[in-house]
Amino acid sequence: MANSGLRRGGLVLLAVLILALGALACVGGGADPTAVPPTPVPPTAVPPTAAPVESGPGSVDIVNNSSSKTICYVYISSTTSDSWGDDQLGSDNTVAPGQTFTITDVPVGTYDLRADDCDNTEIDSEMGVEITTEGITWTFTDN
């Protein structure tokens, strides 16, 4: 009978040893060092969130719908600039009531606009105007 107790004890010890080795294999102790790791899947391309940059110049159509104000000076300045720069109508051009004048080749961007009468008195100004390749229309009325 004593032999059967040792046998049972030996079988229990063998079973515990087998379970321990199986557990070690599960936590990486039995990993194959020659195994090739799986190839990572490349990420899916995400479309850009920014609008595409426009190319080419824009324009400003000046429409004078006032009944009595003649526009003699127009200034277009970058919103980051501290000065107005040169008159965009030039010395030979004015925009009388009922007339339209187009300033072309304005680089695409955000600008401040100012229009003065012939006495250099400001008629109107617009700040932060986005000029695109489609151009803009700036209309003056008597208000």
pLDDT digits (tens, 9 = 90+) for 8-53: 556 666 666 666 666 555 555 555 667 676 766 655 555 555 555 5
Domain count, the chain: 1
> In which domain, by residue range, is 120 found?
57-140
Domain contains 46: no
d(CA 135, CA 106): 9
Q: What is the CATH number of the domain that holds 77?
A: 2.60.40.10
Instruction: Find where tokens 């070690």 sit.
Output: 24
Does 22 map to a domain? no
Confidence (pTM): 0.61
